Chain A
Amino acid sequence: MSNLNTTASKGGILSRLIKWLRSGKGQRCIIMITFMTVPLLLLIGFTYLPFFKMFEFSFFNMKYIGERKFIGLDNYRDVLADKEVMNSLMLAVYYLIGSFIQLALALYFATMLSFKTKGGSFFKGTIFFPYLISGIAMGFIFKFFYTRGFVFDTVLTRLGFELENLPYWLRDKGINNVSLVATSVWKYMGQNMVLFIGAIMSVDKELYESASLDGANRWHQFRYIILPSISTIIVLNMILSITGSLSAFEPPYVITGGTRGTATFFLLMHNMAHRHQKVGKASAMALILFSLIIIVTIAQKLIFKYVFSDSNEDVSKKTARMLRKQRAKEAMR
């Protein structure tokens, strides 16, 4: 009897389950599970799990294989006392200055190319194309470019410099980091420029027309129309370049391998992990970098909350409204 009862209730559960699955709510549930499982698994498996493991590893003295020993905060202490690490943080300043120059150049050329220019799309294309060259190809190109007596030296000697007076671009410690930063500017300036052009293009065309009718010159147009309407994206890029310069990696990795004082923080960490197999110390470095990035990001959020609190509203529209009001006032007079 009792057996029969349970099977009956089981059947009941099953049929109720099927009914529920066919209902709207059940359908919703099924599609949510099937559509989200894989992306979430990938996210957890390859981003969050490694991240938490890294946190754990940073407290151990360990290699990839073999025993590990808990050493508390020693890894962090070692990293912060390391002279090479301090040097690499100084290098971040080079990259930061480089990226500010890059943003300024990008803004200059973006403004120029947003207006009618002969051969505009050709110039845009050639300035942008370096962004599509892979890091490793770029490494070879610039090793070749900077080699003694090769491309760069040839151009400079044609301009009247003496070869003997020129430094070894990748070897001399005074200049090699500047050479590397220049390659990074070379690669990413065009990409920034395209972003800025996109932002400038989204500014209401009417604004330029009415402004030039009012006798505004190009500088006025730039200062009072373009700059305010794209200030958000400029500031965002400036902040991003702080994190970018902290995690600069590609130029030294592909061109110098980090020799002769060109090792950035990221490169040191890479060597620590994969060449010296000091997994614990490398993890500690990664977490220090991560906390720096978090600090910068929080600063960015605060800046945008308090300085650009009206950034949600399209600035160009606001300016347009202001202009219209002014004109109406003038008409009244």
Chain B
Amino acid sequence: MTFSQRALYILRTFIKYISLVLITFISILPTVSTVITAFKTEEEYTSTNVMTPPNSWVYFKNFVTAWKDANMGLAFLNTFIILVFVLIGSIMFGAMLAYILSRFKFRGNEFIRNLFLFATLIPGIATQVTVYQIMHSMKLINTLQGYIILMMGTDVISIYIFIQFFENISVSLDESAIIDGCTYYGVFFKILFPLLKPAIITCMILKGVSTYNEYYMSNLYLQNKSIFVTVSTSLYTFTGPYGNQYNYICAGVIITILPALIIFILCQKQIYSGLTQGAVKG
């Protein structure tokens, strides 16, 4: 390596790490500042600058108040129930539909595929005007089951992930099972479904994240917030009476982010690969 090459190499490495540190700073600054504020007493909050660290990092009163006032215990319970049903439902229905579409040749197969594909172009929030009417006429507003059905709805991305996955599983597996006297149900539930595990994990992560963070529809369809509060709508409590008391608001925000952070740290790899797979066709 000549001198100029070495100088260039050092300069490049320097720029690389400077830009990485800078973008990391920008990425975490907003969240870190809420963490700082969440640990401050009311007096500290009004008297010190927002970026001054709190006196004590074990002052949890804000979290306790936020948890109680926003009814977060119930919110986490509701969100958990919703997650369980939505995940089971959307994965089962997605895998079942993908099985039919990838394994059975029939007239209308292509049509159904296109029907699902075309649905992705219809802007979801825009149709809520009329979906609201339909939900109203089915008496599904302000019920958990209504919201769950709606969220299970059309999850095109998971259907595509499953179809892709099925196409990589040899058809001879099905055929030999059928010859051995297995029914189609047996083929699906006993043979293929267990093989789908990686695809199921991918879909669980994608759907799980979007369900946990979903707040537009839960705000619209679960209006009775004293019973049907979810994690994301529980934060709405802070818009009214708390106004500018950010020490409580920040504590609430941190509580809702924490589960996402833990899941992220535990399954980083699956989340990345899930996103990459989901984007290929979606």
Contacts and interface: CB of A to CB of B under 8 A. Distances in A.
B215 A134 contact: yes
Interface of A: 27-28, 31-32, 35-36, 38-40, 42-43, 45-51, 53-54, 57, 64, 105, 108-109, 112, 117-118, 121, 123-130, 132-137, 140-142, 144-145, 147, 149-151, 154-155, 186, 190-191, 194-195, 197-199, 218, 233, 247, 249, 253, 266, 269-270, 273-274, 279, 282-283, 285-286, 289-290, 293-294, 297
Interface in B135-191: 149-150, 152-154, 159, 183-185, 188
3 closest residue pairs by CB, A with B: A198-B276, A134-B213, A286-B126
A262 B177 CA distance: 60
Nearest to A109: B23
Interface stretch (B57-65, B196-204, B249-257): B249-257
Given A27-B183, A48-B119, A112 B51 contact: no
A273 B130 CA distance: 10
Q: Give the residue among B106, B122, B149 with the most A Cβ atoms within 10 A.
A: B122
Given A35-B99, A154-B49, A186 B129 contact: no
Given A135-B213, A151-B51, A186 B27 contact: yes
Contact of B131 (A46, A140, A199, A218): A46
Contacts of B215: 134-136
B109 to A, nearest CB: 10
B119 A43 contact: yes
Contacts of A285: 126
B129 A28 contact: no
A208 B237 CA distance: 54
Of A133, A199, A289, most buried by chain B (CB within 10 Å of CB) is A133
A297 B119 CA distance: 13
* Chain B interface residue bracket vs A: 35 or more
Contacts of A197: 272
Contacts of B260: 132-134
B96 A35 contact: yes
B94 interface: yes
A147 B34 CA distance: 13
A186 B236 contact: no
A151 B136 CA distance: 43
Given A35-B100, A123-B20, A137-B256, A142 B152 contact: no
28 contacts: A31-B100, A35-B96, A40-B112, A46-B153, A50-B134, A112-B16, A117-B20, A121-B268, A125-B264, A127-B23, A129-B27, A129-B28, A130-B27, A132-B261, A133-B213, A136-B232, A137-B253, A137-B257, A144-B50, A144-B246, A151-B29, A151-B50, A198-B276, A247-B125, A266-B126, A283-B129, A286-B123, A294-B121
A27 B127 contact: no
Contacts of A123: 20, 23-24
B213 to A, nearest CB: 4
A171 to B, nearest CB: 15
A28 B104 contact: yes
Interface string B48-85: 01110000000000000000000000000000000000
Nearest to B92: A38
B193 interface: no
B80 to A, nearest CB: 16
Secondary structure type dominating chain B contacts: helix
Contacts of B106: 32
B20 A36 contact: no
Contact of A105 (B23, B99, B123, B250): B23
B11 interface: no
A117 B99 contact: no
Nearest to A32: B100
A124 B26 CA distance: 13
B279 A195 contact: yes
Contacts of B212: 134
B11 to A, nearest CB: 12
Contact of B264 (A27, A132, A137, A249): A132
A243 to B, nearest CB: 8
Given A39-B154, A144-B30, 5 more contacts: A39-B96, A47-B127, A125-B264, A137-B256, A282-B129
Given A31-B185, A142-B30, A134 B93 contact: no
Nearest to B34: A141
B235 interface: yes
B251 to A, nearest CB: 11
Given A43-B116, A194-B276, A198-B276, A137 B27 contact: no
Contacts of A126: 24, 27-28
Contacts of A121: 268
A47 B119 contact: yes
A51 B122 contact: yes
Interface in B230-282: 231-233, 235-236, 238, 244, 246, 249-250, 252-253, 256-257, 260-261, 264-265, 268, 272-273, 275-276, 279
B136 to A, nearest CB: 8
Contact of A151 (B16, B33, B232): B33
Given A132-B264, A249-B125, A137 B116 contact: no
